[in-house]
Structure 1
Amino acid sequence: MQMTFRWYGEENDTITLKQIRQIPGVKGVVWALHDVPVGEVWPVERIEEVVNQAKKYDLHTEVVESVNIHEDIKLGLPSRDNYIKAYKQTLRNLSKFGIKVVCYNFMPVFDWFRTDLFKEAEDGSTALYFDAKKVLSLTPEEVVKNMEENTNGLTLPGWEPERLRDLTHLFELYKHVTEEELLENLTYFLKEICPIAEECGIKMAIHPDDPPFSIFGLPRIVKNKQDIQNVLRAVESPSNGFTFCSGSLGGSLSNDAIDIARTFASQILFAHIRNVKHVGDGSFIESSHLTEDGSIPITGIIKALFENGFDGYIRPDHGRHIWDEVCRPGYGLYDRALGVMYLLGAWDTNVLMNNEFPSVLQNAK
């Protein structure tokens, strides 16, 4: 298991590489070129720039999150082949710098979605919040406005302005797209991409839908255990893998996160671990990573990953905004750093319980 930390770049993050380097156990940063429009090839020189920035602090850049997928690919439009061609070239460019995993999602129109980016919690911190009742009274345009106006001047991951300029048109395009058709379009994409990914030594890790149910009637196909199985079986390739996200899957109480972690451990390439607390009627707020603070059995998930041989990359996911930190919603330094230590502690407990930590025990004597 390798601990990583998401970073948005020198010009687009309140957190520095120097600060990340000082979090015990963190070996690399998870990154992307957020200013490159979706569908365009990532330039080699820009990739090299980020890699060299991280190298100065002895941090690897082996995980990219995300190389976003153009909406035409999801819709299965004739123009998708040109965008897939560009995606292949981006993978080739990334492979020149040792990138091992590319995390991506296949959510139509909206990426992750919340109704409140700074909901106050009982302890006085603020966090991302999903109000199931409020969603019913919002229009898609109101959703976008709320998300874009409450970011502290920073970009939101996965929310590309260019695809949200004409929501009416996008929704019209998806009006008759079923989940079965969306899965067919994903399968087409993977059949084209996986051979190139294999050649490049890169593995594709699809991220669950967040939240794991339909929003505004849009189809979603990575919501639960069966959906994950469908995607992994769609294309038999070592490069077709899964990003396990406890918080995304945990948005629905019907998902058994421990069972999903146990079942797909060998195909989980990347793990996002965070906790959410359900507050009734399908609403939830993101809590600290501590198991008892939320509704997700974080320590049980870590145990399941450990016992089933997970050896991929892991990172703390969305954190609360604590100690008056001004930051990107969900991506501050302090609570995620606390999350790193909690996750490492949970992992090390399993190591010790299985007598796989002899050098540390010897040193302790």
Structure 2
Amino acid sequence: MKETWRWYGEPDPITLEHVRQTGATGVVTALHEVPDGTSWTAEDIATRKGLIEKAGLEWTVCESIPMEQCVKRGDSDAPSAIGRWKDTLANLGRAGIPVVCYNFMPVVDWTRTDLRWRTARGTGLALRFEMVDFIAYDVFILGRANAADNYDAGLVAKAEIAFKAMTEAEKLALETNIIAGLPGGALVQSRASIAALIASYQGIGHAEMQANLLTFLKEVIPVAEDFGIRLGIHPDDPPFSLFGLPRVVSTPQDVRNILAVSDSPMHGITLCTGSYGSRADNDLTAMAQEFAHRVNFAHLRNVTVEDDGSFFEDDHLDGGTDMVAVIEALLRAERAAQAKGSTFAVPLRSDHGHLLGEDIGRKTNPGYSYIGRLKGLAELRGAIRALTRQLDKEEATA
């Protein structure tokens, strides 16, 4: 496996020199400054790649090429938008970028209600999704029509109590956390714009959304094959419906449906253990064992899920996922592929991280502080080293 680090370009408070100091050799980035609806030019890609290589690193993964809403809805504008996506993909391929991670989440990208939640164990400040607070926003602040019908009545009652206790400042902070844009997410939204976007999905259910994803895949997989780019679709985060909208990359069956489109090694998944792990009925060890041979990118983080569906981001080796077992499945699949001639090393990154120490008072992108991710990377690196030694011994005695 290949250690990588997510970097948001020169506005990122973490520099490429800081990235080098982590020991990671690969960079995960995208041209976040390019507006949605615009193909990335070969020149802009080359500039970003040259900046990374000048720092002694490699642009290992592009995460993500923006996915326009019309593609997810299957609008009449979808073919031209898919064409722009394919143009960008081809330009990345010409530049030698080996992996592209993307997602198919409608309206909002990864979503949390609290970006600075103090953990009970005192391990810093974590990202949290509080179900009651999200319902309070959807039903009582955004005021989406019939929103209460999408939730358990008991939780709606708790959400109403929570809403009535909120100050105006607290309501605004909650809205900002949910819709105002997170690193790598969609453009910043307002209450009016997100309500309009949600309404634009009227009549689109799970089957329609799934069909639109499959249409997209059939268009882009041949381009990925032409340029030798491994695609990895990122799961929904969280992996359940938000704002009553369908999500189609949330469960093992969703993954099976997606992978059935093509058996090409260029068509695979991003195994984000935190995203899939935010759903209590997803068994991450079983998923890793079933899909490891189709994992083209790995986001390794951990979450603890609570009874009402709330969750918080835990330490990398704690939480509900047996991270060591997941890594073992990935390492075994990678070795099996290499025994058949593959030279591909699955890129991994220490995803998210608690705010720790001096980072608490510094400017950081939510989830992407330096010390917390570095701590996580060190823990993951230790697990990988120990498992690699174990597998080496197994092979030596086989």
Task: Report the TM-score, using the length of structure 1 for normalisation.
Answer: 0.91
| Structure 2 counterpart SS, 1:218 | coil
Tell me if structure 2 keeps the 8 A contact 1:272–1:317. yes
Give 1:161 shift.
2.9
| Structure 2 counterpart SS, 1:264 | helix
Structure 1 pair 251–57 and aligned structure 2 pair: CA distance change class (3 A): same
Structure 1 residues 205-226: Cα deviation after superposition (integer angstroms, max 9, x where no partner): 1001111111111000011111
Structure 1 segment 173-322 matched on structure 2, within 5 A = 173-291=200-318, 294-309=319-334, 311-322=345-356
Q: Which range moved further: 138-147 or 172-181?
A: 138-147
Code of the aligned partner of 1:33: L
Match of 2:31 among 26, 30, 33: 33
2:131 alignment counterpart: 132
What are structure 2's unaligned runs of at least 5 residues? 144-170, 336-344
- Give the Cα–Cα distance (whole angstroms) in 1 for the partners of residues 27 and 286 of structure 2: 28
Tell me if structure 1 keeps the 8 A contact 2:285–2:326. yes
Match of 2:78 among 65, 80, 92: 80
Give 1:234 shift.
2.5
2:91 alignment counterpart: 93
- Give the Cα–Cα distance (whole angstroms) in 1 for the partners of residues 111 and 323 of structure 2: 22
Structure 1 segment 136-155 matched on structure 2, within 5 A = 136-139=135-138, 146=173, 149=176
Tell me if structure 1 keeps the 8 A contact 2:334–2:346. no
- Give the Cα–Cα distance (whole angstroms) in 1 for the partners of residues 192 and 50 of structure 2: 34
2:4 alignment counterpart: 4
Tell me if structure 1 keeps the 8 A contact 2:302–2:317. yes
Give 1:237 shift.
3.1
Q: Which range moved further: 45-54 or 302-311?
A: 302-311
Structure 1 pair 147–56 and aligned structure 2 pair: CA distance change class (3 A): farther
2:156 alignment counterpart: none
Q: Tell me whether 1:347 sits opposite 2:348 in the alignment.
A: no
What are structure 1's unaligned runs of at least 5 residues? 359-365
Higher helix proportion (structure 1 or 2): 2
| Structure 1 counterpart SS, 2:136 | coil
Code of the aligned partner of 2:25: K
Give 1:203 shift.
1.8
Give 1:163 shift.
9.6
- Give the Cα–Cα distance (whole angstroms) in 1 for the partners of residues 172 and 256 of structure 2: 35
- Give the Cα–Cα distance (whole angstroms) in 1 for the partners of residues 310 and 14 of structure 2: 30
Percent identity reads: 39
Match of 1:44 among 30, 42, 45: 42
Code of the aligned partner of 1:161: V
Give 1:353 shift.
1.1
Code of the aligned partner of 2:135: L
1:361 alignment counterpart: none
Larger Rg: 2
Structure 1 pair 89–356 and aligned structure 2 pair: CA distance change class (3 A): farther
Equivalent residue pairs, number: 353
- Give the Cα–Cα distance (whole angstroms) in 2 for the partners of residues 92 and 335 of structure 1: 35
| Structure 2 counterpart SS, 1:10 | coil
Tell me if structure 1 keeps the 8 A contact 2:112–2:177. no
- Give the Cα–Cα distance (whole angstroms) in 2 for the partners of residues 164 and 79 of structure 1: 24
Give 1:279 shift.
3.7
1:114 alignment counterpart: 112
| Structure 2 counterpart SS, 1:166 | helix
Structure 1 pair 127–95 and aligned structure 2 pair: CA distance change class (3 A): same
Q: Tell me whether 1:19 sits opposite 2:18 in the alignment.
A: yes
2:373 alignment counterpart: 336
Code of the aligned partner of 2:356: I
Structure 1 residues 255-309: Cα deviation after superposition (integer angstroms, max 9, x where no partner): 0001101101110000000011234321111122123xx2221112111212232
Code of the aligned partner of 2:117: K
Structure 1 pair 288–185 and aligned structure 2 pair: CA distance change class (3 A): same
Give 1:39 shift.
2.3
Q: Which range moved further: 263-272 or 48-57?
A: 48-57
Tell me if structure 2 keeps the 8 A contact 1:208–1:223. yes
Tell me if structure 1 keeps the 8 A contact 2:221–2:266. yes
Structure 1 moving runs of 4+ over 6 Å: 162-165
Give 1:155 shift.
5.6
Code of the aligned partner of 2:216: F
| Structure 2 counterpart SS, 1:324 | helix
Tell me if structure 1 keeps the 8 A contact 2:269–2:296. yes
- Give the Cα–Cα distance (whole angstroms) in 1 for the partners of residues 81 and 175 of structure 2: 26
- Give the Cα–Cα distance (whole angstroms) in 2 for the partners of residues 131 and 261 of structure 1: 27
